[in-house]
Structure formats: C-alpha cells, structure tokens
Amino acid sequence: MINNKKDIQKLIDSMTLEEKIAQMYQLPGQVYDFYSDRESGPVTGPEGLREYTQDLLFNVGSVLNITEASTARKIQKEYLEQNRLEIPLMFMFDIIHGHKTIFPIPLGAACSWNMNMIEESARVAAREGSVSGINVTFSPMADLVRDARWGRVMESPGEDPLLNARISAALVRGYQGSDPGAKHNLAACVKHFAAYGAAEAGRDYNTVDMSEYRLFNYYLQGYKAALDEGVKMVMTSFNTLNGVPATANKDLFCDLLRDKWDFQGTVISDWDAVSEMVYHGYSSDGSEAARQAVEAGVDIEMVSQEYVNNLTELIEEGVIKENKVDQAVERILNLKYELGLFADPFKFFDEQGEEKYHLCEEHRKKARRLAAESMVLLENNGILPLENNISSVTVVGPFADSGEILGEWSAVGRAEDTVTLKEGLKNQLSSKAELHVFSKIADLNKTQFGEIVSRVKESEATVLAVGEPQNWSGEANSRGRITLPEKQDRFIRRLVSALDEQESNLVMVLFNGRPLELEWYSENIPALLEAWYPGTEGGNAVADILLGRVNPSGKLTMSFPYSVGQMPLYYNRYSTGRPRGYEPGEEHYYSRYIDMPNEALYPFGYGLSYTTFDYQNFALEKNELTAGEEARVTGEILNSGDCKGQETVQLYIQDFEGSRVRPLKELKDYQKIELAAGERAEISFCITEEMLSYYCEGKYIVEEGEFAVFVGSSAHDLNECGTLYYKKS
C-alpha cells in the first residue's frame, strides 16, 4: 500500500527493469479491447505498425483516449488483476475546450478577456471529464501564435505573451483546483514545450529557429505561468528548436525546465515524437532516439515504442544508467499518488456522474455565456442589434442549420447535441416572425439563386452563416490561403451584386478557427460578427448577440490581416531603421508594402460594441519612477451610448531605447468593466518596475530611460498618457 511518497521508492525497488520501462509507455486507446481478447497472443496496433504483448499490456503506465467511465473501469479492473504489483493505470485525453459540453475554441474564449469565465470553463471540463475516468488532460496549450496559416492557432490564446500567461494560469486553476486528486479535478498538462506556435510558414510540425531574446521575451511566458500555477505535466513539442528536436532538447528540459524553473512534475512526449527524431535526421535509429529522449528528461513516451524496444539493452550495455529510468518512474508514480489512484484506482469512474453532469443545464448556461462574450463585432453600420419586433429573418449559408460549429479538439462533443443558428434564432424570435433558412448555396441554378435573392429583399434582415469547415483548422490543417471557401465567396459576391445598396440588410456571421482575409467583406457587408467555433450552445449565443440580448464585448487576441502575405503578423513588433508605413505618394525606401498597409485590417485588442465608450483625461500621476516604486495612470471611461456594455481597457507601454531593439508597444495590463448607458468609471493602472523589464543576455533587466504610456481600446486605438522616466536610484 502506498501511503506516502516515501513508499514510492520502496515500490520502485521491487520492480523489474521491464516493469519500470513499461510504466514509461503510454498505450493508445485504439487497442483497449485487447485487454479482453488477449488469448490470441501478441496483437498489432493501428495500421499494423506495433505489437502489444501481454507483458506490455499489463504493465503500461497510462492509456490514451478512453472517454467513457464504463470502458475505463473495465480496463482498470482487468489490468489490476494481471499487474503483479497492482500499480493503477492513468487515463489521459485531450480535453481542450470542453468534454461533452463544448465551449468556444481557445482562440475564441481568449477574446472574452475574462479570466474568471475561462477558468470556469476548465472547471466544467474537469468535472465532466473526471467522471468519465479521465485523470489528465493535455491542456492548456500555451503556444504563442503569430501566423494564421497554422491550423493550431485555434487552440492558442493568441499573439500576446501577457494574455497567454494569464489564460494558461486560469486554465490550470480550473482543471486542477488546489488538488488535482480531489473530486471532479484533473491534472493539467501544459504544451507544447517549446515555441511550437512559431513553426516556419505556419506549417504544422515544421522547423522553429529563433533567438534566446525572442524566445524568453515572448514564447516562454505562457508555459512559465502554467508552471507557477502548479501544473503537473509538460508535453514536448513536435518541432525542432534551433536545430534540436524538442523531445531531445536538453537546453529546454534539463537546463531550463528542471534546473532553472525547478519543475518536479512529469514530462510526456507528443504522439510518436520520440520515433520522429529519426525522420528529423537527429537520431540514427530508434535506439538512439530512446537514449536522447531519456537523457533529456522525457518520462513518458506516447504511442511510439522506442523506450520499450531499446531501453533494456541500452542499460545492459551501460549506454545509459538505470537511475535515469528510476527518476522517470518516480515522477510517474508520484503523479498517480497525487491523483489518489493508489488509494482508490476506481475513484474517477462515475457512470452516474456522467448522467448528472454531461450536458447539464448549468454547464450549457456557462458555455452559452462564454460563447457570447467571446464573439467579436468587426463591423456594424447600425443594422445590429436586430429589432425586438423584427418580422422576418432569412439565414443563408452552410452554417445556417449545422451543428458542425464545435471546432477541432472538441473531445466527445456531438453535432446532434449542438444548438444550431436556426434553432437559436427560433428560440428567441417572436412566434409571429418569419424565419427562412437556405443551407445550400453551392452551385445554385438561376431559379434557385433568384428565390434566395427574392427572400433576402423581402426580409428585414439576412444572416450569412459562413466560414471554414471544421476540419480546415486544428492539427495538421495548415492553409496557404486564409480566405473563405471559394464557393462561399462566389455566392456572397453574387448576392451583394444583386442587391441595391439600400436593400443590403446583410449580417455576416463567421464560423472559423483562425483569422481570415476579410477586406472585401468589410467594405461590402453592413455588419460582420466573428463567432469562431462557439461550441454546444453556439446557436443560442449568436442569437443572443444578433438580437441584442447580449451586447458584444469580445476583443481580438490575434490580428486579422489584409492579406496572408503579411504573415506572421503581430502588434508588438520591433521598430526598424526605416519605420514609415504605407502612404500613397510616400517616399519609396521605407519598411513597407507597396500594395497594402503594414498594420492589420483588424488589430489586436479590437472589437466593437452596440454602445460607445469615451476615454477621458488619462494621464500619469507622476513622470518619474525610481527602483522599488510604482507609478499610476488614471482616467475615466464614459459609456456615451444608449445601452449597457462591457469594455476592455488596455494599458500599453513603449520602451524608447535599450540594449536591444524594443517593441513598438507591449500590453502590460487590462481591465474589463461594465457600464450602464451614461455611466462613468474611474480607471487606474499601477505601473511597476517589472512591467518595464525584459530578458537580455541570460537575465531580466530594467534599464534607465523613457517609456511612453498608452491606454486605449485596441493596440491601434490608443490615448497617450505621458512619458515615464525610470531611474535606478
């Protein structure tokens, strides 16, 4: 019996080498049924690539992708009956933005800038996942992203390191609480360490090559915040970093993660990542890959079998020491102990809990609230919100009545459990209002198109429900073009051309997993609403926004480009020696495009409301800051419109000069406030010495000099509050 962590060492001492190595292997869930059908001898894994012997099946440390309590209970029971030392299995799964109740994709949720709601979304996911037998979720994904071509931007908080850090910490709190082994909690796993979001050309699994300066000032902050919050596991990234695959990168895992950051938890590879080092050309064969990964501190190998096939021989030949394996196994068993699995291996299996919590009304309400708060109003000429007494609405497009609005990595969420846009509008429109829906818009003949045009002209409002198919974003779904699908674009342009300007009552609602090129639509469609993939309650949430039940308050956390040619695009870029932007007739030799602005079409932090907010009298209370002191910037926000609304007030600082070239501006803090029509609020930000620091040559420094301070509604709509001079004494 394991009563404390001291007992774990005794358990390790009683294990054979083969039993230890098996603990370092994660079995794919696709072969779970072999636990009950093992009489036929060795079994072959997916696509015939792997063998699973009985010894391996009943000694592995963890199983991946089992999502139901009854199945997990069956596996655990049979496993423990066969395991010599009765060491329980761990069950792990990618719960990214909900388990059965699906919340908005992470990029969408980030646009809420609401840490409490984001934390609560993870709390709901942990409750639903834990009763299904899941012990560990592979979330949060803390990869900073600046290139919308990359499919996995939908899993990221976006382009800013401060938001990345705060959201990563909030998710860890939501999953783990104060004790990952407590009822309805999960252990969290931050990923992908490190800098996976910087893959060249936005192509998944591709190379990353960057300076230490950029890595520490931007890309590492999200992971570090998760560690500071006590995350129990770290996953390696697929990419190479400066020529070394992350899965064998000692600089990352030994020097930084273990030594400098003192991470005591468990490290797991991503799917097949140990074997893939051979394809990188970094490892000569599987044996060398196993050695390199173990020496870098990777405790668990996911799916590929280089540890199982090679570690025994490597130890017997003296190539690696057995204590390396012992250290890994100790960390694995410590996690099982912290999860309470030694005390009760069946504690996470709760079939009644699945009935009670999965898709329950409370969880659906929370998903609906976060979905609505995540949506970003990009354009509005006054057509939104739609009138309460509106008599007719036409909905056109492939997402008009589709449940395929969950997004990739939606766990075990189902389209049939999802509220569609049609259903959401029907739930809220007057019973007398006419609702007409046209889901098919591709390859329309003249008669069919004419019918749609007639209906659009007769309706008070027309909603274009368009966007990317779900499988166009997510892992391995990188795109070289980030436009709407061609057939959708062709239909929209054809429809717009068929309407007189005064007849245009179009509202475009976008369902997508990445920033898209929207310049033409921004100029030709009266209103644009970015809904992302909003999740299980998506249709209700969109209807809440369109009909004014909820005032949109989302702010972009990733810049929307004029063109994919601007990628990578981000607001906090460095200044150049020729910094002028695009101006017609401007002198030629500046850092600019000749056919579009340098800036984003819709910048970081941008988002409209149904009301207006005036920024008034923002100024620094003092213009000097000495080491150890603080400075304040204060001002007022007035809701000058005619309805209640929320505004995210953003603080940016620019370091004018330093030992390294500094960004044009950096987000340093923000406050989300709610004001009634005509209400005024005083806003105050505290500027600390830490806000002025940056990483340079192995340490964080603050240099004497001038800093410009800005407050505003986006990275491009700012009020200068003054210049702050920092001096060390």
- Give me the active site residues, please: 270
- Three-class secondary structure of residue 673 per DSSP: strand
Nearest to 419 by CA among 547, 511, 549, 535: 535
Token pair belonging to 522: 């921004």
Centre a 10 Å sphere on the Cβ of residue 543 and count the other Cβ atoms it contains: 26
User: In b/e form, how buried is each residue of 108-136, taking b as 16+ CB within 10 angstroms?
Assistant: bbbbbbbbebbbbbbbbbbbbbbbbbbbb
d(CA 55, CA 37): 14
User: Do residues 300 and 329 touch, judged by C-beta distance below 8 A?
Assistant: no
Q: Which amino acid type is present at position 463? A: V
Q: Note if the bond before 568 is cis, omega within 30 degrees.
A: yes
Token pair belonging to 619: 């100024």
Nearest to 382 by CA among 505, 206, 250, 242: 505
Strands 645-655 and 666-675: antiparallel
* Cα radius of gyration (the chain): 27
User: Do residues 561 and 148 touch, judged by C-beta distance below 8 A?
Assistant: yes
Token pair belonging to 650: 């953003």
d(CA 76, CA 72): 6
d(CA 590, CA 707): 25
- Three-class secondary structure of residue 253 per DSSP: helix
User: Do residues 145 and 195 touch, judged by C-beta distance below 8 A?
Assistant: no
Token pair belonging to 12: 């390790």
d(CA 395, CA 463): 5
User: In b/e form, how buried is each residue of 221-237, taking b as 16+ CB within 10 angstroms?
Assistant: bbbbbbbebbbbbbbbb
- Three-class secondary structure of residue 529 per DSSP: strand
User: Tokens 């908005």 appear where?
Assistant: 104
Please classify residue 660 by burial: count the beta carbons closer than 10 Å to its beta carbon, then call 0-12 exposed, 13-18 middle and 19+ buried: middle
